[in-house]
Amino acid sequence: MNANSTDSYGVLGRLLHGATILSRVAMWVAGGLTLASALYITADVLARGLLHVPLGGADELSGYAFAISISWALSFATLQRANIRIDALYQYLPTRLSAVVDWLALVLMGVFIAYWTRYAFDVAGASWANQSAANTVLATPLWIPQFLWIAGLVWLCIVLALMLIRSAVALVTGDYETVKRVCGVRSTQEEAEAEAEAGERLVRGEAQ
Amino acid sequence: MIATAMIALLVLLGLSIPVGAALGLLGLLLDPLYSMLPLTRAIGEISWGTSNEFLLVAIPLFILLGEILLRSGMAEKMYGSMSLWLSWLPGGLMHANIGASALFAATSGSSVATAATVGTVAIPQIKKQGYNESLFLGSLAAGGTLGILIPPSINLVIYGVLTNTSVPKLYLAGIIPGLALAGLFMAAIVLACIVRPAWGGRKVDSRWEKRFASLVHLVPPLGIFLLVVGSIYAGIATPTEAAALGVVGALILAAFQRRLTFTMLRDALEGTMKSTAMIMLIVIGAAFLNFIMSAIGLTNLLTSTISGLGVSPLWMLVILVVFYLVLGCFMETLAMMITTIPIVTPIMIALGFDPVWLGIVIIILVECALITPPVGLNLFVVQSLRKSGSMNDVMLGSFPFVIMMLIMIALLTIVPGLALWLPTAFG
């Protein structure tokens, strides 16, 4: 996790480390939003079923919570290299070439996210300019959830930029270890080990 | 146009760009090539619309439900009970592997989690009771795949969203094939152990009073299943609402087992959000690409080209099966589903296949992909649980179960009612 604390590019490493901590906190907040959605939806179902008075807005609010939680969770998932990548060719590449491919993949991912963030701004900007409100009982001003959603995307852009600079420096100096650590593919092996370990910890570890 | 798009997609995926971004980039690329209008701008609206779609809120909720249940400590007790009930069959505990997987599948929407949980409890028994290692491991990897066929299932929600098919209908359709497939798995084990009795290990002693006493451990998983799936069919809840009810039910269950702690909840939420973010990046990339593809007429062109080949529906189905078997060998399953379904299903539906039935067939093919080498994720999960020995054991042991999955698809083709009877009767 504290990927770069040992290497010589101290400032960049510390920045990335800080970004990881912030992203992790954002991830917990996103998780909290999801849990809150679950509780509110349940309350809504119960109120509707037992008291015949729906609380209302559960679908709308949990939809906003969902959008915001995804955009904010993406940066930690990316830092953890959790995004699915196809390694059918990649696994046969020599170390140096695969490091270049890792870097290139990160650049192209950055391009897509940059486009996405750019046009997401248009959506929220239009809502702000037109003062659009949701077509629901709550009539939520749409720019509020939309800007919270975009803030997550902007943070993702910042994180990607940091990862990109760090791995570019490492690539140029021939530090392929660091390139792998910042943006390498998690192999199926690595993935499965993590899953298996989690499974074991769940059944054993907590079962004192 | 088709060739350009195919080559660009293969290059992007071959460069191992994250799948979601690769799909989005393909959209960005196709837009200036084939369209007069700047379609790219639509990504803002599309991603916002997809991100707050209430049906998709079911995805994080079902993942969270699974994460909490995993940590609630019910797996071990459930396995114990299953082994008392099923281990008299030739093949002993291997039947408990399948049974526990099927039951766990009824509370969890993920195959990998099912294999990891049941596997952790079961693997120490191989040496203790003298089982054939390969077949035993295969039964765990294969049993785990039931997680996505027996409702609730994250993959069925995704199929439903991608094809505009009713998720409750898909859930109903998955029940009978899920149980039938578990039955076929058990039949394979019985057959193998009749031919080679030595593979079957030693019998576990079980008496009726012990069996009945153990039934109490099956109550929690069945309770969650009834809460989630029952509330949908009682008309009380939509799939997303049912998932939320399930999360609350699981929290209560974990609290009763004294497992509900702050750390536990934080870990569960972290795991949930990581998986959700990863899935949604692909869903958003795919939604954008699909928009571009239909706007520039690529989707229609593909459909008409393939239906213009004049292949009979049955042969088309055979091609579909081979296509997914091959693709499943080197593609991650979620990515495979999200990239192919928007293209494959319109073609198949145009040929007269039922979308609900097709969903079940595709899910079974995805299950195959999970246990076929070289990248079947369940194989790796089971392998990492045992720590030693060759990966080949797991692959070989899974092979008979792949055959059973193909038999299941053949059965579904001959008797579509296996999948469609429940949705028509209750839908």
User: Does any CB of chain A come closer than 8 Å to the CB of residue B37?
Assistant: no
If you average pLDDT over residues A79-90, what whole number do you get?
80
**Range of A74-83, B83-92, B158-167, B179-188 with top mean pLDDT:** B179-188
Burial of B336 (0-12, 13-18, 19+ CB in 10 A): buried
If you average pLDDT over residues A117-133, what whole number do you get?
90
User: Token match 């960005």: residue?
Assistant: B28
Does residue B152 have a cis bond before it (omega within 30 degrees)?
Answer: yes
pLDDT of B1 > 70? The answer is yes
Phi/psi region, residue B270 (left: phi>0; alpha: psi -120 to 50; beta: rest), is: alpha
**Please, which residues bridge with residue A133 across strands?**
A141
Average model confidence (pLDDT) for chain A? 85
| Confidence (pLDDT) at B416 | 94
Taking the CA of residue A30 and the nearest CA in chain B, the distance in Å comes to 7
**Predicted TM-score (pTM) of this structure:** 0.86
| Confidence (pLDDT) at A30 | 95
> How many whole angstroms separate alpha carbon B412 and alpha carbon B420?
10
Restricting to B residues 145-184, those with a Cβ less than 8 Å away from any Cβ of A are none
| Confidence (pLDDT) at A203 | 63
User: Does any CB of chain B come closer than 8 Å to the CB of residue A121?
Assistant: yes
Token digits of residue B95: 């039947």
Per residue in B247-306, pLDDT (tens digit) is 999 999 889 888 888 988 998 899 889 888 988 998 899 889 988 988 898 888 888 888
- The answer to whether the Cβ–Cβ distance between B277 and A82 falls below 8 Å is yes
- The answer to whether the Cβ–Cβ distance between A109 and B266 falls below 8 Å is no
Residues of A in contact with B241 (CB under 8 A): 41-42, 44-45, 58
| Confidence (pLDDT) at B297 | 87
Check if the interface score ipTM surpasses 0.85.
yes
User: Does any CB of chain A come closer than 8 Å to the CB of residue B380?
Assistant: yes
Query: Which of B76, B277, B384 is closest, CB to CB, to A196?
Result: B384
- The answer to whether the Cβ–Cβ distance between A203 and B112 falls below 8 Å is no
Cβ partners under 8 Å of residue A205, min gap 6: none
If you average pLDDT over residues A126-155, what whole number do you get?
89
DSSP B204-231: PP--HHHHHHHGGGGHHHHHHHIIIIIH
User: Does any CB of chain A come closer than 8 Å to the CB of residue B278?
Assistant: yes
DSSP state of B203: P
**Please, which residues bridge with residue A141 across strands?**
A133
Amino acid identity of residue A14, one-letter, is R
| Percent helix, percent strand, percent coil in chain B, to nearest 5 | 80, 0, 20
| Secondary structure class of A54 (helix, strand, coil) | coil
pLDDT of B203 > 80? The answer is no
pLDDT of A4 > 50? The answer is no
CA distances A180 to B46, B251, B252, B293, Å, are 33, 38, 42, 34
Do residues B146 and B178 make contact, with C-beta atoms less than 8 angstroms apart?
Answer: yes
| Confidence (pLDDT) at A163 | 93
| Confidence (pLDDT) at A193 | 74
If you average pLDDT over residues B174-183, what whole number do you get?
95
- The answer to whether the Cβ–Cβ distance between B273 and A34 falls below 8 Å is yes
| Confidence (pLDDT) at A5 | 42
> How many whole angstroms separate alpha carbon B302 and alpha carbon B414?
28
| Confidence (pLDDT) at B19 | 84
Per residue in B105-116, pLDDT (tens digit) is 888 777 887 888
Restricting to B residues 58-117, those with a Cβ less than 8 Å away from any Cβ of A are 60-61, 64, 70-71, 73, 75-76, 112-113, 116-117
Residues of B in contact with A191 (CB under 8 A): 377, 380
Cβ partners under 8 Å of residue A41, min gap 6: A58, A59, A62, B61, B240, B241, B244
If you average pLDDT over residues B376-388, what whole number do you get?
82
Q: What percent of chain B has pLDDT over 70?
A: 99
| Confidence (pLDDT) at B427 | 62
pLDDT of B143 > 60? The answer is yes
- The 8 Å CB, 24+ separation contacts for A38-46 are A38/B61, A38/B64, A38/B243, A38/B244, A38/B247, A38/B248, A39/B244, A39/B248, A41/B61, A41/B240, A41/B241, A41/B244, A42/B241, A42/B244, A42/B245, A42/B247, A42/B248, A44/B241, A45/B231, A45/B236, A45/B237, A45/B241, A45/B244, A45/B245
For residue B55, the surrounding DSSP H or E stretch is none
Per residue in B121-131, pLDDT (tens digit) is 888 888 888 88
| Confidence (pLDDT) at B213 | 83
| Secondary structure class of A197 (helix, strand, coil) | helix
- The answer to whether the Cβ–Cβ distance between A28 and B384 falls below 8 Å is no
Average model confidence (pLDDT) for chain B? 88
If you average pLDDT over residues B188-198, what whole number do you get?
89
DSSP state of A5: S
If you average pLDDT over residues B366-380, what whole number do you get?
86
| Confidence (pLDDT) at A202 | 63
Return the closest-CA partner of residue B175 out of B102, B82, B124, B117: B102
pLDDT of B368 > 80? The answer is yes
Per residue in B26-79, pLDDT (tens digit) is 999 998 888 888 888 889 889 998 888 888 999 899 889 888 887 887 777 888
